[in-house]
Structure 1
């Protein structure tokens, strides 16, 4: 079922850099093309506000919106109608996420460089954020939790959630609304796709623009985020979900197959990649996939994902080679199912989140591990992190020097300003000691 890539070469013989990247599977998405396709839609929302959003939603989603914002009563109704078991699961997810994210916030730090001369690093929250929650092939109340909790822990003052409307109701899925209610979020919009991103970035008659947009979405959402980046901040250009499993002959093929299937279930473009030192494990995983896929609810979607060019089984000579492969792939989710999995996991450089050992499946992280499931995809884990409290904080430096401290460094400022041919920079310092200074120096 999985495409096979045979890289059974000792780690030292594997190609490096771009050559290794080219050998690994990737989804064939072209965000640049999608960006040009959604540009007119984004511009229409910027120019026409709510009318642009309503027209795009009617054309693309088949829903005519009487208003963009969801009435508060609908949030309350959704929470009251929530199945008790689902409520308990969401409340557990929220509580665990709050516990983990509460430990993420960095403290303010003051560094004293000299007597009377300090630099303080303050962490201040973004004032207003827009949180996008997908609603296409699946419904993601868990993504409400993952977006909202770190924003709240960071101290964000104003939070707006937006999610696509359903054709039957003109509202986001009731589970989305219920999750918002449980989290105390009152500002929710029934808008999805690129028009939602444009609405958040530029504002409308019914919605104030935000400072930062976070949350995963399809290629059109990603393209719109690229277009508005700079007008607002964005978390990342997230693409279809990914799982990579680094496994040796100690791994249980039933577990590996189930975990590959779990992420393939999201989308036909989802990527499931097995990197293994064991041909025998690969054969056993293939047999398990045939049995388990046939028994799943979304077998067709999963089959498309597992047989797509973005998914593969990669055979490697040893764990050293496997580590090189998974670092080059930089998976959104990486499972380590090997001997001494913690020791192997500690050596991984590039991954959005690492799941260690047989009892830490990605599905745990999707819902109840306490970690965040909004993670970098498409190799972006080489340079980007997953959503966290820090996403919603900005570092602001406070520089405070007294006269004595400035005097101690003034000659160096003047020298560096002169080297850069910016004499007024030096004069801004020497002017403070005018009574004592001579031309271009400090007495």
Structure 2
């Protein structure tokens, strides 16, 4: 009996140890999945303002109507709790729901198709075990005919989606391969930064095509060219790898600060990535060659030195745009237009300032902007809005001046363009207007 007792005890301890190890392994998988979900920025699209994480309900405007994001919590009725691992993988890689219906391509499955099996497993573990179920089902999308016919998306997928997993290039370093995997796959950077075709497809899904990451205007915001290699002196070519890391980690660097949709990306996703992954992304972007931009051929009104001298001397009597700059912008961005590193972004060679479409710059002038609060830079520095004090014509003159000063080459802005942006702004822009009443 004594031998049997000790044998049973030893077996019991062994089984308990195996169970504990399995539990620890499962927890590690869930934690890795949570990190990957951060890298994929899943929470940004699948969380409505003021809503519960991943419960859906976010309204996404598209050329075809309003797409409302779905509930991807593990609730079995309202969410994806009944999805098998393979059904989950099909949703990510092929844009297929569990019932076989096609998802709208607002879901970046053309990019997520590059995910590895291991990363799919970790994401599945996280969404099934690490996310709180929410029983509220999201509303249906409001898409007009014929685009609301999901079967037709199958043809779009056949034409434009590529369900091939990521493969590193021959001879590519481990760091560059990791960066390419994150940018092309989980980060789905091309969804915003790659030009779109006639049927709203990305013109390239990876760097095998020179169109990849060359910039696009979406929702009124310019998503700039991210190709940082070469020496033509444009955009990210002037940034170091550390500049890119700072921007992704904190939403600011010595050159610029985030605005528009990228604010959410930094706040919810890239600011939580490891330094190794951020360095890999930066190295990959700097490896992509970028030729001289056609817009660089446009002539600037003045050189950086001429603009600074004119503003310093306040010689602006016949230059209404320059006068408006001195009255509204000079205190933070200074006569040289370069602002203060990590605090007030430079306006010189700024992608938003020089974009073909000035909508984003107009939006910032009228509505202001706020940097995200991140683990590395918790202070959410803000630029005030000036829509309450500038007329459409004044805002246009100011934007035109900034887009032509210090060697910039953005071109003129009209009062009509300002009026169109103002029409789509929230109605509470009077909030920062000083109250001089007793």
Structure having the larger proportion of residues in strand = 1
Class of the TM-score when normalised by the shorter of the 2 chains: under 0.3
TM-score (norm 2): 0.22
**TM-score, normalization: structure 1?**
0.22
